[in-house]
Amino acid sequence: MRHKVSGRKFGLEKDHRDLMLKNLVSSLVQHGRINTTLARAKEIRGLAERMITHAKKDSVHYRRLVFGVLKNRDLVKKVFDEIAPRYTEREGGYTRVLKNGYRKGDCAPMAIIEFVGHQVEVKETTKKAEKK
Residue 115 in any domain: the answer is yes
Q: Which CATH number goes with the domain that contains 43?
A: 3.90.1030.10
The answer to whether 79 and 51 are in contact (CB under 8 A) is: yes
- Convert the pLDDT of each residue in 22-39 to its tens digit: 999 999 999 999 999 999
In whole angstroms, give the CA distance from residue 16 to residue 75.
21
Residue 124 in any domain: the answer is yes
Give the predicted TM-score (pTM) of the model.
Answer: 0.86
Looking at the chain, the whole-number percentage of residues with pLDDT higher than 90 is: 85
In whole angstroms, give the CA distance from residue 31 to residue 14.
26
Q: What's the domain range around 54?
A: 14-131
Domain count, the chain: 1
Strand order in the sheet with 95-102: 33-37, 109-115, 95-102
Say whether pLDDT at 11 is over 70: yes
Pairing state of beta strands 109-115 and 95-102? antiparallel
